[in-house]
Chains A and B, each alone.
Chain A
């Protein structure tokens, strides 16, 4: 590689440094007079069909799923604008989450984002939409996706204040998630919800059935549940006396 030695700046024709200075000044003045970039809110568009997404992944759908998830998550922080969740189009959002889940069905991220991030939106209709999505996707792989369903129960009970919906989701959780990795508290959520709702009799029957079924093998857990059953008996007695 040829390397030239440089001559002194004094060897240059005088007009070149002058032209350089004038041009640089003109560029700066021009930039100062140009309008500032304006932030625009870009709405979510529908995702491409699944086969196109798979083609765009160049044979690596899992990586594509991760990239899309980060992109989707950043959608509410567009350049120059922070978009409240309330303004997001939840139908489109759900389409994207579904597409991302199809690219990587073992991923937790889309359901975590749905239940813990987008589920916190202060809009009951949008919350119901996203919880319905979580419930739908949960049923496709209950033993793997139960944590997000459990969070959906929490959102329905404490954020939406819809006890019936919470109970529906808790029953779904108990019915579908039967794997050994699913903890007892998740499988028993519907019982405690019934107790919360004042449905003592139903809660007692369900808890008794659970203990008799032999599904609970841990002695500490058994003791705890028997204690809860006794408490329910006590509550029922009090209700009866009243």
Chain B
């Protein structure tokens, strides 16, 4: 029984990777990589000082956004197509549980996240010390893992590309900026004790509770300044595990509720 589940997960993972290989995702990623490198080299060349630091931080920031953008678009469009083409129904008509299907898809897309992270890491090795790049790449992988699970959840919840992409974008932007939003809400310019202001501050604090602190993930300062990542990777790993379990549980909740 356990072997069958693992076999099903492995088979779905393999087909997910095969699909990625066949639809030219690799070429698109390589193209984006080249664009990011060109942009970073250009920015570094016009800097009067700290050109290496500018090059590295611009490259890391641009590649991180590219990775999140590319992976979320790919996961959402691929899953929606599979649902619309009845691929999911066909798979689930076989002796494959919904849990196996979900984990098969998640592990397939996670493998793509590994490949994307490693490629970005290998690019950055030319611009920053190896150990710093190594930790940064792990952190980027964790970030992509959360985004992948979120995309699956959004697809099972909304089953529409536009709504799912919008939801993922809003989630990502909020998770990356929630610390700044919290600080701004605590230091309002006018009347901090007014009822609407207190309500806004409390609502933002509440929102921060249910969002992962992505703003702590893979900052470019890790690549530029030594020792800035000390003690950072463990909390990031814990946050990833907790949030991944949450997203998986929510995704399975929605998948199991679907009446196929």
Show the binding face of A for B, using Cβ within 8 Å: 1-9, 11-13, 16-17, 19-20, 22-24, 26-28, 30-32, 34, 36-37, 39, 48-49, 52, 77, 79-82
Chain B residue numbers with a CB within 8 Å of A30 are 238-239, 242
B residues 42-82 touching A (CB-CB < 8 Å): 46
Query: Does any Cβ of A come within 8 Å of B103's Cβ?
Result: no
Given contacts A49-B46, A77-B189, A31 and B209 within 8 Å (CB-CB): yes
The 10 closest A-B pairs by CB, nearest first: A80-B183, A37-B179, A79-B183, A23-B246, A20-B249, A19-B249, A23-B245, A4-B258, A5-B259, A79-B180
Whether B159 sits at the interface, judged by CB under 8 Å, is yes
Known: A3-B159, A19-B249. A12 touches B209 (CB 8 A): no
Which chain B residue has the least Cβ–Cβ distance from A46?
B48
Contacts of A82 in B (CB 8 A): 187
In the complex the two chains form, is B84's CB within 8 Å of A81's CB? no
In the docked arrangement, what's the CA distance between A39 and B182, Å? 10
Please determine whether B213 and A39 come into contact, CB atoms closer than 8 angstroms.
no
Tell me, in angstroms, the Cα distance from A81 to B259 when the chains sit together.
52
B252 interface residue per 8 A CB criterion: yes
For the A-B complex with A12-B257, A77-B187, A79-B187 known, give 7 more contacts whose Cβ atoms are closer than 8 Å.
Answer: A6-B258, A12-B256, A22-B245, A23-B245, A32-B209, A39-B183, A81-B187
State in angstroms the CA–CA spacing of A8 and B184 once bound together: 42
Which residues of A have CB within 8 Å of B245? 19, 22-23, 26
B246 in contact with A27 (CB, 8 Å):
yes
Chain B residues touching A, majority SS: helix
Q: How far is the CB of A45 from chain B (nearest CB, A)?
A: 10
> Restricting to B103-147, which residues have a CB under 8 Å from any CB of A?
none
Asked if residues A4 and B159 are in contact (CB atoms below 8 Å), the reply is: yes
Collect the chain B residues with CB atoms within 8 Å of residue A28's CB: 209-210
Any A CB within 8 A of the CB of B32: no
The answer on a CB contact under 8 Å between A7 and B259 is yes
B257-A7 in contact (CB<8A): yes
CB of B260 within 8 Å of the partner chain: yes
Closest chain-B Cβ to A32's Cβ sits at a distance in Å of 8
B253 & A23 in contact (Cβ 8 Å cutoff): no
Q: How far is the CA of A94 from the CA of B13 in the complex (A)?
A: 58
| Interface SS, A side | mixed
B235 within 8 A of A: yes
Contact (Cβ within 8 A) A12 B253: yes
**B208 CB-CB contact with A under 8 Å:** yes
Instruction: Return A3 CB to nearest CB of chain B, in Å.
Output: 7
The smallest beta-carbon distance between B12 and chain A, in angstroms, is 19
B160 on interface, CB distance cutoff 8 Å? yes
Closest Cβ neighbor of B252 among chain A residues? A16
Closest approach, in angstroms, between the C-beta of B203 and any C-beta of chain A? 15
* Distance between Cα atoms of A31 and B44 in the complex (Å): 38
Distance in angstroms from B179 CB to nearest chain A CB is: 4
Q: Which residue of A lies closest to B245 (CB)?
A: A23
Interchain CA distance A31-B252 in the complex, whole Å = 23
Residues of chain B within 8 A (CB-CB) of A16 are 249, 252-253, 256
Find chain A residues with CB under 8 A from B187 CB: 39, 77, 79-82
Q: In the complex, what distance in Å separates the CA atom of A81 from the CA atom of B184?
A: 8
B93, chain A: closest CB distance, angstroms: 15
Can you sample 19 A-B contacts with CB below 8 Å? A1-B84, A2-B84, A4-B159, A4-B260, A8-B257, A9-B257, A11-B257, A12-B256, A13-B256, A19-B248, A20-B246, A22-B245, A24-B210, A26-B245, A27-B246, A37-B183, A39-B187, A52-B46, A77-B189
Q: Does B186 contact A (CB under 8 A)?
A: yes
Say which residue of B208, B249, B260 sits within 8 Å of A23 (CB atoms).
B249
B259 contacts A6, C-beta separation under 8 Å: yes
CA A133 to CA B238, docked complex, whole Å: 53
CB closest residue in chain A, given B208: A31
Give the shortest distance, in Å, between A17 (CB) and chain B (any CB): 7
Tell me the smallest distance from the CB of B159 to a CB of chain A, in Å. 7
Contact status of A27 and B183, CB under 8 A, knowing A2-B159, A16-B253? no
CA distance A23 to B153 in the complex (A): 15
A31 vs B71: C-alpha distance in the bound complex, in angstroms?
Answer: 27
Q: Is B83 in the interface zone, CB < 8 Å from A?
A: yes
CB of B217 closer than 8 Å to a CB of A: no
- Bound-state CA distance A9–B254 (Å) is 9
Which residues of chain B come closer than 8 Å to A31, judged between CB atoms? 208-209, 213
B4–chain A nearest beta-carbon distance, Å: 17
A200 CB → nearest B CB, Å: 48
- Do B246 and A11 touch (CB < 8 A)? no
